[in-house]
Structure 1
């Protein structure tokens, strides 16, 4: 039986663009490897104080955007207690939310969504809704 969720992997096209985006929202590179019989590079990213929970995969020679499909939803991250300050910091890096923060349900945390350079959605929450369970 599984005991821990260790990471999520997404495929990206441009290493520099993706690392700039994820770096701007707080991720740090923790390591990288060549995989797939030396046909791809995986880059492991982590938030400070956490494990490498995000894997970016760059497949050699790929230039066409990936189909994100209907099954992908988002990656969710909590931010500091001040969502507005975080969004101001992201704006300095040229990152804007899809729309202004809002509460998805009465009394719930304010949330908003960003899109990374490859179109993946990133949900930002003021607090973890699991803390309410």
Structure 2
């Protein structure tokens, strides 16, 4: 391969745009990087970016959608790292977000991970840095 490929964003479709933006801002400290409204095509795109990262999550909001999207069994999750997983886990639980317990996989004895669900049921993996 002669080109360098860099992943820049992942896209998910959401039912309630403002609720989704609030989740990613409040739960994960992401910020809206840009927003594009396409009223003639009846959709809006919002790109959210985490601190110290170039990767963005693209939220696609289709104006006429009334039913939740079926996430399916092919997509799994996004992942973010934190400095203090215990503190992050406690904050998410106290905020009323749906979270799993902290656990480790295989021989990973330090740190651990857990999952938090966004308003549409997409999972975000929280990993100890």
TM-score, normalising length: structure 1: 0.84
Maintained 8 Å contact 1:76/1:125: yes
Cα distance in 2, alignment partners of residues 75 and 36 from structure 1: 29
Structure 2 stretches lacking a partner, 5+ long: none
Structure 1 stretches lacking a partner, 5+ long: 128-133
Maintained 8 Å contact 2:82/2:127: yes
The alignment covers a number of residue pairs equal to 125
Alignment of 1:35-50 (within 5 A): 35=38, 37-50=40-53
Cα deviation, 1:26-82, whole Å, max 9, x if unaligned, reads 1111110024953210000001232351100000110111111110111111111x1
Maintained 8 Å contact 1:30/1:52: no
Q: Which runs of 4+ in 1 moved over 4 A?
A: none
| Cα RMSD for the two superposed structures | 1.8
TM-score, normalising length: structure 2: 0.87
SS in 1 for 2:32: strand
SS in 2 for 1:103: coil
